[in-house]
Amino acid sequence: MIPTAIPNLGGNEAKYLQECITTTFVSTAGPFISRFEDALCVASASKYCAALSSGTAALHLALTASGVESGDLVISPSLTFIASANAISHAGAHPWLFDVGADTWTLDLLQCESKLETETEMRDGHCYHLKTGRRVSAIMPVLIMGNRVDIVATKKLALRFGLRVIIDAAAAIGACFDGLLLGQMGADAICFSFNGNKTITCGGGGAIVSNNKALVARAAHLASTARTSRDYDHDEIGYNLRITNLEAAVGLAQIEQLPTFLKAKKKTAATYSNFAQHYNMLGAFPLAQSDNSTHWFSGFWYTGIDLDCPARFREYCENNGIHLRSFWKPVHLQLPYVTCLHEEMTITDDLWRRIFTLPCSTHLPEADLAHVLEVSHNFWGENQ
């Protein structure tokens, strides 16, 4: 079975792990943690970083540390991995879910603006949702597949309505839009995930990067049981969400290979986009041929009218040795969030079933890629 995306551990991973074992620094103290954090600051042009146990933890603590409080609403797209919404819930807040743009697949900022204008009011510099009475305290765009979000426009909207901007860049380490790295676009915080299927992995892990020193310090404090001294003194109810030196060792070895990984991702993405152009019922992922994505996942999408067709293609791939899972089911269709505040989902409701994320490991063998293209041709050639 050709997998969708698996870790590529051909660098210094084993060497650094051996160093952890030799020095016995395997837990939440050790030199690899700050080395990894420094490397993340460089990769995102950010001043401060807190490496944590997962991307979900990073989002949760970034929201809390930026001032999101219990009962608040946080704006987020519905077309995302459920962890985005879970992080909002873990912070005690509630997602306010929006559609995505047809040509970007990321948060529809026009829909956000129109709803903020008509369904909220400003009081004392804070934005309140009229119907629920809840404060709207943050906006959390998701860089889906590593794709571009207009962070400058997001920031403008946020300033108007007194919102914090937290970017779910779980899969977008290394992203660069218009020559700017993620830390240079004015967001309050940017969160990464280093789960096993992400572009770089720690096994499991995540990080917050920001230019706001107090925000990162507060997140790091909360992540380490809110401990205030070397003794057992704690000043609030904290969490245990730190990264370990073992994980950071793997992360550092991985980030050393980031340029190579991004190049490989881009090449695979371009191959699938070019392929899609030759079939009437297939479309390329948005922006897939520009420099504006990290191409975490790549593939193509079904543009035809027979909505049973995507499921048939998935089955056909499975029968031909290609692992092809369904794409993320939107948050507003998930059991824990069906009653959650959400706007019209014209694009999201239609789009999610049509997306095929094809094999795109950074070390995908040429022969495997050729097999995926051949199987795809056999299916879509006949289904024209």
Ligand X SMILES: *Cc1c(COP(=O)(O)O)cnc(C)c1O
Task: Please give the residue ranges that form the binding site for ligand X (CB under 6 A).
Answer: 54-56, 80-81, 83-84, 142, 168, 170-171, 193, 195, 206
> Residue 188 corresponds to which amino acid?
D
CA separation for the pair 163, 201 (Å, rounded): 31
Complex with ligand X: residue 136 or 145, whichever CB lies closer:
145
CB of 45 to ligand X, least distance (A): 21
Query: How many degrees, rounded to 5, is the angle at CA 201 between CA 313 and CA 221?
Result: 130
CB of 140 to ligand X, least distance (A): 10
CB of 79 to ligand X, least distance (A): 10
Note whether 284 and 268 are within 8 A (CB). Answer: no
Complex with ligand X: residue 161 or 296, whichever CB lies closer:
296
Interacting residues of 167 by C-beta distance below 8 A, sequence separation 6+: 140, 141, 143, 149, 151, 182, 187, 189, 190, 191
Q: Which two tokens stand for residue 377?
A: 């041709």
Complex with ligand X: residue 171 or 246, whichever CB lies closer:
171
CA separation for the pair 171, 241 (Å, rounded): 20
Note whether 181 and 144 are within 8 A (CB). Answer: no
CB of 84 to ligand X, least distance (A): 5
CA separation for the pair 36, 317 (Å, rounded): 38
Q: Which residue has the tokens 């009011």?
A: 121
Query: How many degrees, rounded to 5, is the angle at CA 73 between CA 211 and CA 114?
Result: 95
Note whether 221 and 213 are within 8 A (CB). Answer: no
Note whether 234 and 225 are within 8 A (CB). Answer: yes
CB of 327 to ligand X, least distance (A): 11
CB of 56 to ligand X, least distance (A): 3
